Amino acid sequence: MVNLVVIVLGSALDTTGEASSCMMRRVLSGCDLSQKIKDADILMSGGFSRVGIDMSEARKMAEIALAQGIEREHIFVEEASLNTLENAAFCKALIEDKGWDNILVVSDRYHLLRARMAFRSFGIKAKYVSTYRGPFVERVQLLSYFREVPALIWYGFRILNGHHQHLLK
């Protein structure tokens, strides 16, 4: 039995409640990794990001994973988180509960540094994998890199001051 989980970090649904191109990249890449490792689990992490849409990011990602051939018993959801720090904090409880020792975190390249900061701040040792499959929108990707700069500074400030630790309670 493999004791590995692939954690796919969420991305907002579009205005109609469908998966965004970012979400599709992350889920398809995560599913590929999960299928390459026999008996690996996959954990979809993301909450209710759209007002008026009654589906969490994690549930939508789980639907996509099922359509990609991932077996239901290997799919887990964490649907309380609304940002990357919460992804890490709320996944930590599931990681401990399920006893996963080997962790792969999947996200877009521009987001991996912040994901690494968040997961490490909660003592989670993981490997980080950039998306490599799915729709790519160059303009959106470029804007995402610019958005990461203030987000990294803000996360650094919160982590250094311990403001994120309340999420574990």
The DSSP bridge pattern shows strands 102-107 and 4-9 to be: parallel
The 3-state DSSP class for residue 50 equals: coil
Q: Alpha carbon of 46 to those of 5, 43, 162: distances in Å?
A: 16, 10, 22
User: What pLDDT digit, counting tens, does each position of 84-96 carry?
Assistant: 999 999 999 999 9
Of 105, 106, 108, 114, the closest CA to residue 135 belongs to 108
Q: Give the global pTM.
A: 0.89
Q: Which residues contact residue 26 at a Cβ distance below 8 angstroms, ignoring those fewer than 6 apart?
A: 8, 9, 10, 11, 61, 106, 107, 108, 131, 134
User: What pLDDT digit, counting tens, does each position of 28-43 carry?
Assistant: 999 999 999 888 999 9
Domains, the chain, with CATH or none: 4-168 (3.40.50.620)
The DSSP bridge pattern shows strands 41-45 and 75-78 to be: parallel
Higher pLDDT, 143 or 28: 28
pLDDT at 135 over 80: no
Amino acid at 157: F
